[in-house]
A and B are shown apart, each in its own frame.
Chain A
């Protein structure tokens, strides 16, 4: 069993707001992240796939295929987008880094050409990241 990780970067904006809470509560919980005009990050995504090494190719999966899946499922949806307004799932779900990582897992898990999705690691900044293992 081998773990293979591919990295991709995308830039997007977001803001944190829960419509079920009052303006004051939103401000208290989310602070400057509650600014309705949004703010942006350069996200770094690490997708880790686990699988057996194919004896014919020596590979867990074809990196070109993984790159294409990331491009189609994640980057085309999220790169240079205002997540709250332009990515439908985040109309009803706050686009925190936690929720984005879970969403990326949901987008990718069934789309891998081979191997099995092991971990989504998503950096919001160099000093802050989340890990999601599908559980």
Chain B
């Protein structure tokens, strides 16, 4: 089994705000991310798929199909949008990078599971800035290394 990871980029704006909280609580919890006009990031998403190497092609997955899936499911949906207002997935859900990471995982998982290939979505890693990133599904401390070690 081989894992293959490809990086993609998109830009979007968001505002962290929960209608169920008071203005003061929102300001306290979300700080400057609660600014009413929103603010933006250049997101970098790493998509990891895992599967056997097809002996006929030497590949885990057709990269053209992966590009197409990411383009249609993720980039077309999120790139150059204001996540709170433009993306139905975030109606009633705070578009933190945690939630965005999970959303990307579920969208791509559904798309790849419905496809013909034998590769499966293994992980989404989403960078909001070069200093913070999120991974879904959650993995044991130490990530894959730790999981591999525990398996032995």
Contact = CB atoms under 8 A, between A and B. Distances in A.
Asked if chains A and B come from one complex, the reply is yes
Q: How large is the interface on A (under 10, 10 to 19, 20 to 34, 35 or more residues)?
A: 20 to 34
A130 B7 contact: no
B58 A131 contact: no
Contact of B57 (A96, A102, A118): A96
Nearest to A16: B58
Q: How large is the interface on B (under 10, 10 to 19, 20 to 34, 35 or more residues)?
A: 20 to 34
Contacts of A97: 4
Interface in B124-152: 144-145, 148-149
A16 to B, nearest CB: 7
Q: Is the interface of A mostly helix, strand, loop or mixed?
A: mixed
A65 to B, nearest CB: 22
A21 B58 contact: no
Contacts of B41: none
Contacts of B148: 118, 133
Interface in A87-119: 93-99, 101-102, 118-119
Contact of A29 (B3, B60, B62): B62
A127 B7 contact: yes
Contacts of B62: 29
A10 interface: no
B56 A131 contact: no
A24 interface: no
B64 interface: yes
Interface string B42-86: 000000100001001111101110000000000000000000000
16 contacts: A16-B57, A18-B57, A94-B57, A95-B58, A96-B58, A98-B2, A98-B59, A99-B53, A118-B145, A127-B6, A130-B3, A130-B5, A131-B4, A131-B5, A131-B144, A133-B148
